[in-house]
Structure 1
């Protein structure tokens, strides 16, 4: 058996073992890529008319959102401002343990829509993409293991694709559409797989960074040239023994005003729960709406509203910036609409590879059986 034949065997059996998971994860990833654009069209309440007045403070939005949910405490909610032309949202878990998102006009506090995200189409797609609807600990290894196998298959696939002779090169780059369907299927698997390999590999790798944080930490270390930056990993803590003066305004309002002053260029601001007085309250300020790469992160004392920690994007190490951009890399949106289109096409091709590969394997298997029967008839 030659090296290429051995690689072919590995490629085949790894593909058969992981194909179904790769197909589902890739297809749902393709669907999720344009979720913001699709929702902007199908959910008109996501947009509002910009006004010259400042948005209402978070406490006002929280009160309006929770008016129909008196059992939910404002301190447990997540409040997000998406910019001057978008609705603000308040997210919480209701008394029935349902994830609820309320969209409001940030200038008037009018409730525009209330949604149960458990039954939202894109929430379901995202859950399938991330966990296959399996328990988290099981999904981590099923999805993560399959993605690792997919990366190995991209490598073995490139070995199998590589032409032996110069005259074969053109054939490796083009699909022979006029040929029989088996040949077209072969070309779809090989040619499309080659073109999508680099982007598909990046999408798979950034996905693994989310599943296994230790891999992301290793990538950060490489990006930093082996240097470590302990301050970027330091966790803010609340000294519960220290006497503090309670804020004279609602904590979310203190946080929002502070972040507006210290990150004035931020279009999107996400304010986390106030906590129980023992853990910090967090806030993230993003430079561009619906983009998560360029962000400043704050930690506040849950009683006094004092800033315990502030990390600014401009001061981050290369590794820290790589970590922050991971989601935008994974979805392609770091390059805007063009990047999303590339990620969408690469995800679709990734979903097609297990299908065309299985058809290729089945065709060869049937051909081998037919050849065996023919030889048997001849020898008889």
Structure 2
């Protein structure tokens, strides 16, 4: 069997095996790309008027206001996010009945603007389908991850099949023959659009795999660093439980917030993790630009005293670590702004169409191959 024919068989059967998952993951990815823009238009509580020279309230004030209706939830178990000037802050927690709840507040007055159960929120459902297909996490990791890995192989084998044998065939491989019969148009949609979207689709698929399998992301960072290791990137904050610690005089979330405000004054967005007392540090992340996750400073604090245990600033991170921090923004296209999101959206739509057009091609050839046998029998 010739090599190209073998590649074609591999392309066919891998596509049939993974097509449905690739279609769902790609379509939900396309929907999710513009979720921030759509939500800013449809959810007025995401924005507030920022008073002149007014500083946001401390996290403890926001936590108290958000949890007024949920006395069973401890403040130490919440996530607090400041999204920057002109945007509301949020307090996230899980209720006793398992409802993942997000409360939006005015960060300057602590007024509750809106709250919703993320289990029924449209974009939360879209994101969950995109990442897990609503399957248990242990199963979804391999079903989605395996299908996306197959999709990477599909893109590479598709390029091999697309490559024209003769020079005169090259022009038709770059254009869709719209005046032809629908089967030919479908064939061109699969081949031509697949070629144009292959490079972007490959980037989207790989960055998605990096989220599912963090060890892949660690490997990419190692390669990006030229095989070198940087000690500052490998340090993990630890709490010395043998040493007695004096509790912070003010709520721990306030201590953390005030420290990172002072240490990262240019940060617009601040995410504070749970600060419950225990063996694990309390973590906080600051981002230079709201709704962008690339330029990030990382902090770890003692869960009782609020003492800073570790700080990792964007400027001092290695090239590999900066690349890993960039992974989400690359995956959604927002690393290049609105233009990047449009490219990611179109590439995701084309990726969703490839299993459909490919299945139609296979079905047409399969039925075409059966016709001579029927005629011969007649």
- Both proteins in one fold, TM over 0.5: yes
CA RMSD of aligned residues (A): 0.9
Question: C-alpha separation between the residues in 2 aligned to 1:185 and 1:375?
Answer: 29
Question: C-alpha separation between the residues in 2 aligned to 1:20 and 1:74?
Answer: 42
Match of residue 2 from structure 2: 2
TM-score normalized with structure 2 length? 0.98
SS of the counterpart of 2:247?
Answer: coil
Question: C-alpha separation between the residues in 2 aligned to 1:258 and 1:200?
Answer: 41
Question: C-alpha separation between the residues in 1 aligned to 2:187 and 2:234?
Answer: 48
Match of residue 34 from structure 1: 34
- 4+ residue stretches of structure 1 with deviation over 6 A? none
Match of residue 287 from structure 1: 288
1:102–1:113 CA contact under 8 A, matched in 2: yes
Correspondence 1:130-209 to 2 at 5 A? 130-209=131-210
Match of residue 106 from structure 2: 105
Q: Deviations over 1:197-248 (max 9, x none)?
A: 0000000000001111111111111100001124313221111121222211
SS of the counterpart of 1:67?
Answer: coil
Count of residue pairs the alignment pairs up: 377
Tell me, yes or no, if structure 1 residue 267 matches structure 2 residue 265.
no
Correspondence 1:1-380 to 2 at 5 A? 1-52=1-52, 53-377=54-378
Q: Deviations over 1:282-328 (max 9, x none)?
A: 00000000000100000011111111000001111111001100111
**Deviation (angstroms), 1:9:** 0.5
Question: C-alpha separation between the residues in 2 aligned to 1:46 and 1:79?
Answer: 15
SS of the counterpart of 2:187?
Answer: helix
Question: C-alpha separation between the residues in 2 aligned to 1:230 and 1:148?
Answer: 31
Give structure 1 stretches of 5+ with no counterpart.
none
1:8–1:160 CA contact under 8 A, matched in 2: yes
Question: C-alpha separation between the residues in 2 aligned to 1:372 and 1:320?
Answer: 60
Question: C-alpha separation between the residues in 2 aligned to 1:200 and 1:5?
Answer: 24
SS of the counterpart of 1:277?
Answer: coil
